[in-house]
Amino acid sequence: MEVISPHRIQRLLFLNIVLLSVIAFPALAVNSTDNTFLSCLVNHSESSYPISSAIFTPKNDSFSSVLQAYVRNLRLNTSTTPKPFLIVTALHVSHVQASIICAKKHNLLMKIRSGGHDYEGVSYVAADPFFILDMFPLRSIEVDIATETAWVQTGATLGEVYYRIAEKSKIHGFPAGVCPSVGVGGHISGGGYGNMMRKYGLTVDNVIDAQMVDVEGRLLDRKSMTEDLFWAITGGGGSSFGVIIAYKIKLVRVPDTVTVFKVTKTLEENATDIVYEWQHVAPTISNDLFIRLILDVVNDTQKGTKTGRATFIALFLGDSKSLVSLLNEKFPQLGVKQSDSIETSWLRSVLFFADINISAPVEVLLDRQPKSLIYLKRKSDYVQEPISKAGLEGIWKKLIELDNAVTLYFNPYGGRMSEIPSTATPFPHRAGNLWKIQYQANWNQAGNQIGDHYINMARILHNYMTPFVSKNPRSAFLNYRDFDLGINHNCNDSYTEGRVYGVKYFNNNFNRLVEIKTKVDPHNFFRNEQSIPTLPLAKS
């Protein structure tokens, strides 16, 4: 391993910190080299894992590439996007402990990043001076088929988790997200769902233990952190409570053959009637079947006009014969034939859902870098009553009017999701929710003007959908981070601002999260634009 003089780095960082502290932290006590953040980091980490090889400052040649390696929204990769003054790429648990202890001591803002998929870049952008604790190097995955469990470190991606499970067993899988490059850290701590949700519930419904470093720098497991804190980090967002090192997950059984299909219907092919039917079928049909629905706009080549298109993408935990007979009975309007369906392994069904050639080598799941990146904005909603045909026609009209700037993704709930109490985890959107909407605005050109245009279109459609979605509160999914729901400046009273978005993400579970937060991190060290606030009383 390369040896870098800690003293040299110290001097480098010392300059940065002094510069920043003059601007932003006038009271920051960084006035002697001995007392700098850097020497504190060195002092508090294990010397057999030199933290010097984990520290990147802007003076370091690879600083930009380390920063950009896990940016997953090009909207947050511009020259005006605020940059960290330092990145610690944690190579060892003691680097996490040192980062927390020293950041607290020096009153520095720390952002935690695992896979970097946060839609608003909460893990690597901040308005105030900040540094990033980057977890990507900590990504071991230990699968134990005998106990049907695995320990996964938070820097791992979902694709790696799926690959490592399938490497050991063809009849085990894990119910998590459909995008292989998503990081375990943000995904699990924020709830996590995937296409086996109707059978096995959320990702967090299948988590049984965790390792976490708390605000005092202690390494805790489920037992030592207590049930309250464990509950909080299974859906309440990890970054409000500590740094999660690893989760222990419960594997689930999958058949060695599963079936997938994708069929599309345009408005001319009676899409409205079929979508209407989908609303009644998708949340109530067998738990083995998950049918995602996408609404977008395409050119009708014959008429030369625009038309609506519904795309149905499904995973069935069984063979194609059983699938076709189930659909013939419950959803004949969709007209799925045996020839529309593909029998494959569970691991390859992951490729299908990720829009990767299903015949590609499965090692593609180990690619941590997505094929391409886009500029994006996301929003979410919950639908609790079926929408009338007239309502659906209005939505199509609106999508066409917005010129396909925004696409709607409907993910059906029901099944296991309705059986789990809404207080079992911080994620509250269980029984009574038919499906979740994701609003997707994607674009591929730089510039604020074009970005604002697409963001505005997403807001217009979200506003248009008001009559069809949950109310009081109008609920949203934490993992679909959306700053439009409210921002916390984390001043004296973080609670007042925190309530605004908090009840939308967590409904009645918000207060319990605030109580736990106030107990384990009363000074609100672990904070971001949408973290769980502390109770105002704790401050006085």
End-to-end CA distance of the chain: 48
Q: Output the smallest distance, CB 163 to ligand FAD, in A.
A: 17
Q: Does the footprint of ligand FAD cover residue 113 (CB under 6 A)?
A: yes
Q: Residue 363 binds which entry of ligand NAG, ligand FAD, none, with Cβ cut-offs from 5 to 8 Å by kind?
A: none
Taking CB under 6 A as the binding criterion, the range among 60-68, 209-217, 250-258, 315-323 that sits at the site for ligand NAG is 60-68
**Which lies closer to ligand NAG via its Cβ, residue 298 or residue 420?**
298
Distance of alpha carbon 524 from alpha carbon 520, whole angstroms: 9
Amino acid identity at 523 = H
Q: Within 268-327, which residues bind ligand NAG (CB under 6 A)?
A: 269-270, 298-299
Q: Does the footprint of ligand FAD cover residue 114 (CB under 6 A)?
A: yes
- Kindly calculate the radius of gyration of the chain based on its CA atoms and give it in whole angstroms: 24
Choice among 480, 495, 501, 505 that is catalytic: 480
Answer whether 50's CB lies under 8 Å from 159's CB: no
Amino acid identity at 178 = V
Q: Output the smallest distance, CB 471 to ligand NAG, in A.
A: 32
Q: Is 322 exposed, middle or buried (0-12, 13-18, 19+ CB in 10 A)?
A: middle
Distance of alpha carbon 503 from alpha carbon 514, whole angstroms: 11
Using alpha carbons, list the distances in angstroms from residue 500 to 148, 270, 343, 458, 526: 40, 40, 46, 20, 19
Q: Output the smallest distance, CB 124 to ligand FAD, in A.
A: 7
Q: Using the rule CB under 6 A, which residue among 31, 140, 147, 357 binds ligand NAG?
A: 357
Structure-token match 């319990």, residue found:
512
Query: Collapsing DSSP states into helix, strand and coil, what is residue 425?
Result: coil
DSSP state of 499: H
Q: Does the footprint of ligand NAG cover residue 35 (CB under 6 A)?
A: yes
Q: % helix / strand / coil in the chain, to the nearest 5?
A: 40, 20, 40
**C-alpha angle with apex 474: 470 to 476, nearest 5 degrees?**
100
**Which lies closer to ligand NAG via its Cβ, residue 210 or residue 271?**
271
Amino acid identity at 473 = P
**Which lies closer to ligand NAG via its Cβ, residue 342 or residue 373?**
373
Q: Does the footprint of ligand NAG cover residue 359 (CB under 6 A)?
A: yes
Partners of 341 in beta bridges: 261
Distance of CA 22 to the CA centre of its chain: 35
Lay out the site mask for ligand FAD across 311-340 (x = CB under 6 A, - = otherwise).
------------------------------
Using alpha carbons, list the distances in angstroms from residue 271 to 291, 302, 534: 15, 17, 48
Q: Residue 173 binds which entry of ligand FAD, ligand NAG, none, with Cβ cut-offs from 5 to 8 Å by kind?
A: none
Q: Using the rule CB under 6 A, which residue among 72, 75, 199, 416 binds ligand FAD?
A: 72
Does the annotation mark 276 as catalytic? no
Taking CB under 6 A as the binding criterion, the range among 191-199, 352-360, 499-507, 516-524 that sits at the site for ligand NAG is 352-360
Q: How many CB atoms lie within 10 A of CB 325?
A: 11
Q: Does the footprint of ligand NAG cover residue 60 (CB under 6 A)?
A: yes
Q: Within 131-170, which residues bind ligand NAG (CB under 6 A)?
A: none
**Which lies closer to ligand NAG via its Cβ, residue 89 or residue 530?**
89
- Residues counted in the chain: 540
Answer whether 441's CB lies under 8 Å from 484's CB: no
Q: Within 244-263, which residues bind ligand FAD (CB under 6 A)?
A: 244
Q: Residue 189 binds which entry of ligand FAD, ligand NAG, none, with Cβ cut-offs from 5 to 8 Å by kind?
A: ligand FAD
Q: Which residues bind to ligand FAD, rule: CB under 6 A?
A: 72, 111-119, 122-123, 135, 154, 177-179, 182-183, 185-187, 189-190, 192-194, 238-239, 243-244, 479, 528
- Binding region for ligand NAG (CB under 6 A): 2, 4, 34-35, 39-40, 43, 53, 55-56, 60-61, 68, 74, 77, 269-270, 298-299, 357, 359-360, 373, 491-492
| Catalytic residue set | 480
